[in-house]
């Protein structure tokens, strides 16, 4: 019996929550078929290529889990690897901070909310320079404006040096928010009302230095050295920030890297092989919403999202070892 009703987004999301990546429409259909019910891979393919899932569908699901006045925003992008795929829409050659080189993939920009314990994506954009002619900075400002319109008042907006353009900093100022960002070593500042010079040429105390950033205004500048011995420079419009605050915000900013890793390892965001643009967009949307479900378990039951995923796998393994399908005769 073929299932009479169409595949829903919740069907596909539930599949992504449980799947061990390397997913496909064929594998999804196999998981849903059984007990006389026949689900074809074409049903999942039609769902992915004909629906129009938007960022609003994500917001509707995540809103109950976030507190608009108690938390931080973290903004960053990642590349959804499509190195070995051919003719897939939305793919561009772009820099991957994870692989430290230019790769072919889909650029995903996400604005996440975190309270320091839980992290939820509240908005996202897909980089499509030939389609909408927007830059990643354009997308970032659009997401921040949407967040402001929704009533958010974050403690800080945290981001990497890619998003620390003067236009972005002034935009956040207009929203009335505080920001904290990495800055490149050649960023020009004036420390003593004499001349602008690169931040790498300055001696910066542990608690930071108030300097004038070229074309922006006064900021507080910090310096740190990472485990590899490389210099890192940080800036904020909060002129009273100290070294303890700086270290705490660095740790909070790392939450988006954990989000990116889990999105790829647990929610199968890189595994869609559909070539059509709408199919890729809908798959990414469902992957982010799969993450929300796992993160919600962490928030409500005090277990990690990796433990939440393992509970699904453990139940399946437990069922198999109790009734092994491939046991040798007499064993």
Please give the pLDDT value at position 35. 75
Condensed to tens digits (0 to 9), the pLDDT of residues 263-276 reads: 999 999 999 999 99
Condensed to tens digits (0 to 9), the pLDDT of residues 174-195 reads: 999 999 999 999 999 999 999 9
- Which contacts qualify for 144-148: CB closer than 8 Å, 24 or more apart? 144/73, 144/75, 144/111, 144/171, 144/172, 144/175, 145/175, 147/73, 147/111, 147/122, 147/123, 148/175
Please give the pLDDT value at position 149. 98
Please give the pLDDT value at position 284. 98
Portion of the chain with pLDDT greater than 70, in percent: 98
Please give the pLDDT value at position 102. 87
Confidence class for position 85, pLDDT limits 50, 70, 90: confident
Q: Which of 43-47, 117-121, 154-158, 249-253 has the lowest mean pLDDT?
A: 43-47
Q: Which residue has the higher pLDDT, 78 or 22?
A: 78
35: left (phi over 0), alpha (psi -120 to 50) or beta: left
Please give the pLDDT value at position 145. 98
pLDDT at 84 exceeding the cut of 90: no
Q: Which residues contact 291 (CB under 8 A, 6 or more apart)?
A: 121, 259, 262, 263, 266, 267, 305
Confidence class for position 39, pLDDT limits 50, 70, 90: confident
CA dist 64 and 61 (Å) reads 7
Q: What is the average per-residue pLDDT within 220-229?
A: 92
CB contact at 8 A, 199 and 169: no
Q: Is the dihedral of CA 239, 244, 247, 249 positive or negative?
A: negative
Angle between helices 305-322 and 277-301 (to 10 degrees): 90
Q: Which of 41-55, 85-99, 133-147, 204-218 has the lowest mean pLDDT?
A: 85-99
Condensed to tens digits (0 to 9), the pLDDT of residues 86-134 reads: 789 999 988 877 777 888 999 999 999 999 999 999 999 999 999 999 9
Please give the pLDDT value at position 331. 64
Whole-model pTM: value is 0.94
pLDDT at 4 exceeding the cut of 70: no
Spacing of C-alpha 210 from chain mean position? 32
E strand spans, the chain: 72-81, 92-96, 101-114, 119-126, 157-159, 179-183, 188-190, 197-198, 209-213, 217-225, 231-236
pLDDT, the chain, mean: 93
Angle between helices 277-301 and 41-50 (to 10 degrees): 100
pLDDT at 38 exceeding the cut of 80: yes
Condensed to tens digits (0 to 9), the pLDDT of residues 280-324 reads: 999 999 999 999 999 999 999 989 999 999 999 999 999 999 999
């Amino acid at each position: 019996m073929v299932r009479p009703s169409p595949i829903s987004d919740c069907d596909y999301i539930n599949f992504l929550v449980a799947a061990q990546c390397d997913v496909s429409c064929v594998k999804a259909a196999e998981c849903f078929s059984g007990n006389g019910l026949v689900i074809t891979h074409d049903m999942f393919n039609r769902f992915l290529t004909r629906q129009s899932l938007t960022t609003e569908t994500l917001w509707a699901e995540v809103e109950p889990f976030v507190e608009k006045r108690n938390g931080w925003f973290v903004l960053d992008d990642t590349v959804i690897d499509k190195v070995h795929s051919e003719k897939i829409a939305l793919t561009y050659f772009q820099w991957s901070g994870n692989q430290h080189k230019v790769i072919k993939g889909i650029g995903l920009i996400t604005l996440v909310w975190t309270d320091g314990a839980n992290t939820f994506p509240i908005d996202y954009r897909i980089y499509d320079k030939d389609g909408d002619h927007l830059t990643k900075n354009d997308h970032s400002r659009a997401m921040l404006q949407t967040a402001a319109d929704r009533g958010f008042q974050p403690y800080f907006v945290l981001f990497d040096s890619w998003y620390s353009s003067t236009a972005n900093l002034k935009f956040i100022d207009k929203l009335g928010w505080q920001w904290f960002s990495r800055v490149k070593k050649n960023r020009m500042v004036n420390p003593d009302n004499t001349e602008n010079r690169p931040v790498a040429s300055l001696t910066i105390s542990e608690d930071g230095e108030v300097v004038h950033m070229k074309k922006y205004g006064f900021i507080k500048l910090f310096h740190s050295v990472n485990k590899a011995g490389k210099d890192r420079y940080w800036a904020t419009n909060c002129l009273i920030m100290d070294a303890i605050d700086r270290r705490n915000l660095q740790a909070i900013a790392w939450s988006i890297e954990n989000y990116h890793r889990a999105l790829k390892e647990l929610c199968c965001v890189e595994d869609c092989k559909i070539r059509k643009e709408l199919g890729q967009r809908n798959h990414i949307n469902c992957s982010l919403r799969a993450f929300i479900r796992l993160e919600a378990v962490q928030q409500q039951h005090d277990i990690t999202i990796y433990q939440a995923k393992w509970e699904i796998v453990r139940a399946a393994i437990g069922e198999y070892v109790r009734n092994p399908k491939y046991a040798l005769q007499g064993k």
